[in-house]
Amino acid sequence: MNSQKKWNSNVDKTIINKKKASTKKIQQSNGIKKEQTSTKCNKSYTLITSFILPFLFALYAFYMLAIKNSDVLYSVQEHSIFLFSTEFFKSMTAIPGGILSWMGCFLIQFFNTPWIGSLILIVLWALIYYITLKTYRIKSTLSVTALIIPASLLCSVIFTGYWLYYMKIPGYYGSGSIGTLFMMLAIFIASRIRNKWIWMAWDILWTILGYIAFGWYALVGSLVMAINKPKDETLTKSMYLQRIIVSACLIIFTPLITYHFYTQMRLEEAWIVAMPVFAGEEATNWAKSVPFIIIAITAALLSFIPSHAAWEELDRKSKAARFYVFVNIIICVVLCTYTWKSNFDDYNYHCELRVHKAIDESRWRDAIDETTNAPCHPTRSIFMLRNIALMNEGNIGNTLFHYDNKTILPYSPDSLPVHMLQVNAPLTYMNYGRINFAIRWCIENGVENRFNISEYKTLIRCSLIAHEYEAAQKYINILKQTLFYKDWAEHYETMIGDSVKIANAPEFKNICELYKHFTDVIDGDEGLIEPYLMGWFGNTQNKKSKYLQELTLIFAMLSKESKLFWPKFALYDYLHKNEETPIHYQEAAYLYSILDNIKISYPFDQNKIINRYESFAQITRSMLDQGMTEAQVGEATKDLYGDTFWWFYFFVSDIETY
C-alpha cells in the first residue's frame, strides 16, 4: 500500500513537472512571439523614418527640380560653361574655392537634360543624408533631422529667380551640393579618429588643402570637427579645448596666409570665399545666403543631439514611439513646405525662360503658344520675343493684337533690379538684325558675369552673319570643348566661308535680310533695348526689303504716332500691290484717318473695319457717358475688341521698359 502511494506520488510529480515544463515552453514561445512581433513592428518604424520618409522627400525633390523647374535647370546650364581644357581649369582655380567652382560647372552641364541633372543632385543629397547619419550616429528615431541639409540645398537651387542672370559665382547651382558633401565627409572622417595627434593632423590637412579647394566649406568643416563629440568617445575638457583652439587658429590664419598667394582675392572676402553671396547693384542680399547658413548651423547643432532611444528599446504602443514617429513626419512636412514656399514660381519668369529657348531653337509657334492663356500680363521681354516669333511666322499683321499687349515689370521681390539687357539683349538684337549690338552685349555681359554657353552661341551666329569667319571659328573651337554642344558647334562650322549657305539657313534668312540693310556702326541704346529699337525702326524708311519695311510699320504702330505711320503704310501698300492688306494695318489707317481728320480713298473692309469700329466707338462712348473710368471701359470691352489696334491705342498705356 505504501509502495502504491509512493508510486502514485512519483507519477503526480512527474505529471506536474511535465506541466511546468510545458507551461515554461509555452511562456518562452509566447515570449519569442512577442519579441518577434515587437521586432517586426520596430523594423517597420525604422523603415518609415529612415527610408520611406527620405524616399518621399527624394521624389518631392525630383518633382521640384525635373518637372516644376526643368526650364530653370536648362537655362542654368545655358548660362554656365565647362570646358575640357587646362586653360579653363587654371582660370577657375585662380582663387581659393576654384576647384569647387570647377566641379560645380562640371555638374551643371548635365542640366542640359533636366531629369538627369536632377537625379545627380538627388544622389549627392542622398550621400549627404547617409554620411550625416553616420557622422553624428543619429538613431532611426530621429533620422529625418538629417534631411535639413538636403532640403536647404534644394532650396538654394530653386529660389534664385532672376539672380540666374547676375550670379557671379561660377558653378553655383552645383558647387553648394559638392562643397557640402566634401565638408560632411571630412567631418565623418574626423569623428572616427581616436588618436589626438592624428586628429589634429587631419584637421590641419583638411583646413589648409580644403580651403584652397572648397573655400568657406573647409572653415565650417574645421569648426564642426572641433565641437563634435563622438558619442562613443570620452574627451577630457583639456583635449576638447585643445581641439577648439587648433581649429580656431586654423580658421583665423589660413585665409590670412592664403591671401598672400592669390592676386585676385580680396582680404575682406577671405573668410567667405566660395560662400554664395548675392550682391546686386544697390546692396548685398544676405537673405539669399540663408540656406547655406542653415547648413553650417545644422552641421554644428547636430553635434549636440542628446542621447535618445532606438526603436528596439521602445514598446511599439508606447507614447515615446508615437511621439518620435510624429516628430519625424512633422519635420518632413515642414521641410517640404519651406522649400515649396521658397520656390521662385513667378509665371512670367518661367515663361521668359521657355520662350527664350524656343526662339533660340527657331520654334516660332512654340514661342507664341507659351505666351497664350497666361494668368497675368507678360513682361516687355516676353512681348518683344513674342513679336519676333510672330514676324518669323509671317502673319503678324493679322495676329499682333490677338495677344495680351499690356505688360508689367518683372517680379523681383528682393533688392535685384532686373534689366532686359542681362535677360535677353543679345538674342533680341540678333533677331532684329542689330548684330553689332548683339555682339557688344554678349561681350559686356560676359566680362561682367563670365562668358557662358548662351553668349558663345550668339557670338557664333552673329560672326557668321557678319562674315567674320575667324571670330566664328574661335568661338566654335571653344564650344567644341564642351560635352553637349560639340555637335552644335560642328554644325555651324560647316557654314564658315559659305555666305550662300548662311543666307539660306532657315534661322538666318530673316536676320540676314535685315542686316544687309543696316549700316555697320554702333550708336547708343543707353542701356534700353526697346526704346532704341522703337526709335530706329520707327524712323527708318526702306523700300528695298519687304520684311524690313513691315517691321518699320509695326514699330510705328506700337509707337502710336500717326506721323510715323502714314508714310510706312503708304510704302507697304506700294510694295504689296494686289495683295490683301492685313487687318491690323487697316485698323490703324482707319483710326488715324478719323483722328487726323484725313479722307483717304482706301477699300477698307466694310464689316471687319468700318462697321466694327463704329460699334466700338458707340459702346465706349456710351460707357464713358455713364461715368465709367477709362480703365473700367477698357476691361469691359476687352473681350469684344481686345484683338484690335483701336483697343490697344486707347487702353494700353503706362508702358514701362527696363
- Model confidence pLDDT, tens digit, residues 492-507: 999 999 999 999 999 9
Highest mean pLDDT among 13-22, 414-423, 463-472: 463-472
pLDDT of residue 24: 46
Cell of 416: 535685384
Query: Alpha-carbon distance 492 to 207, whole Å?
Result: 46
pTM of the model: 0.89
For residue 264, pLDDT over 80 is answered with no
Cell of 25: 515552453
Q: Report how far apart, in Å, the C-alpha atoms of 562 and of each of 379, 523, 611 are.
A: 26, 26, 22
191-200, 265-274, 278-287, 610-619, range with the lowest pLDDT: 278-287
For residue 19, pLDDT over 50 is answered with no
C-alpha distance across the termini of the chain, in Å: 120
pLDDT of residue 7: 42
pLDDT of residue 302: 92
Closest CA to 343 of 147, 63, 129: 63
Q: Report how far apart, in Å, the C-alpha atoms of 71 and of each of 38, 80, 110, 387, 524 are.
A: 48, 14, 13, 21, 33
331/519: higher pLDDT? 331
pLDDT of residue 1: 43
Over range 84-108, report the average pLDDT. Answer: 94
Kindly report, residue by residue over 538-584, the tens digit of the pLDDT. 888 888 899 999 999 999 999 999 999 999 999 999 999 888 999 99
620 near 633, Cβ under 8 Å? Answer: yes
pLDDT of residue 269: 83
Query: Alpha-carbon distance 428 to 356, whole Å?
Result: 9
**Mean pLDDT estimate for the chain:** 88
pLDDT of residue 231: 63
Over range 248-274, report the average pLDDT. Answer: 87
The beta-strand segments (E) located in 274-371 are 278-279, 284-285
For residue 642, pLDDT over 60 is answered with yes
Q: Report how far apart, in Å, the C-alpha atoms of 72 and of each of 6, 117, 626, 650 are.
A: 94, 12, 48, 37
* Residue 239 pLDDT grade (very low, low, confident, very high; cuts 50, 70, 90): confident
Over range 603-623, report the average pLDDT. Answer: 93
Closest CA to 398 of 609, 639, 549, 568: 609
pLDDT of residue 237: 81
Cell of 574: 506700294
Kindly report, residue by residue over 391-430, the tens digit of the pLDDT. 999 999 999 999 999 999 999 888 788 999 999 999 999 9
pLDDT of residue 541: 87
* Residue 323 pLDDT grade (very low, low, confident, very high; cuts 50, 70, 90): confident
Residues 6+ apart with CB under 8 A from 506: 362
